[in-house]
Structure 1
Amino acid sequence: MAALIYRNLKLYFRNRMGAMMSLLGALITFFIYISFLKENLVQEWQKVANANQVLDAWMMGGILTIAGVTTAFGALGQLVSDREDNRYQDFRMTALKQ
């Protein structure tokens, strides 16, 4: 199992454009929040105690979710590619070191 995980990580990071695109969505969201949205949201949430900290935590949760989802979709794309080319059956027949 460790060999399969190592292979998938190696394939994921070999495609530098795919790895950057999976992080690009989170970076765009972060910069839009810092540049435009933060001041407006803090003004709207004035009645909430510690609104700045609440909004920052909320935004970080969203950014981590976006990064996790795009990375998972990249991994599922590799799984589809492996099954399409019947590489998955090759892995099942090959004896991997544990």
Structure 2
Amino acid sequence: MVATAIRGRELHTRSIIGVARLTDCHQDAADTTACSRWAQPDVHHLILADAQELALPIPWPRGQLGSWKPTPALIEQVLKQLPDVRP
């Protein structure tokens, strides 16, 4: 699904490529239509808003999946590119 959304763009691995605000988390009821094309059955869906792409990817070798808390150093690097964003 990601490939269809970003066709023609270079995929950066192990990098921070943007930020978004987490506004909700839910799981769709069985036998219902998914809330978005990104939703997967039997998985909690994160609802994001205010997504902003970074101009330059920030390498992040830790390779964490799922939710995690960014370090102060990483937040500082993001804010250099998006000075209007506040944590």
> Under a length normalisation based on structure 2, what TM-score does the superposition of the two structures give?
0.21
Q: Tell me which structure has the larger Cα radius of gyration.
A: 1
More strand by share: 2
Larger RCO, structures 1/2 (Cα 8 Å, 6+ apart): 1
More helix by share: 1
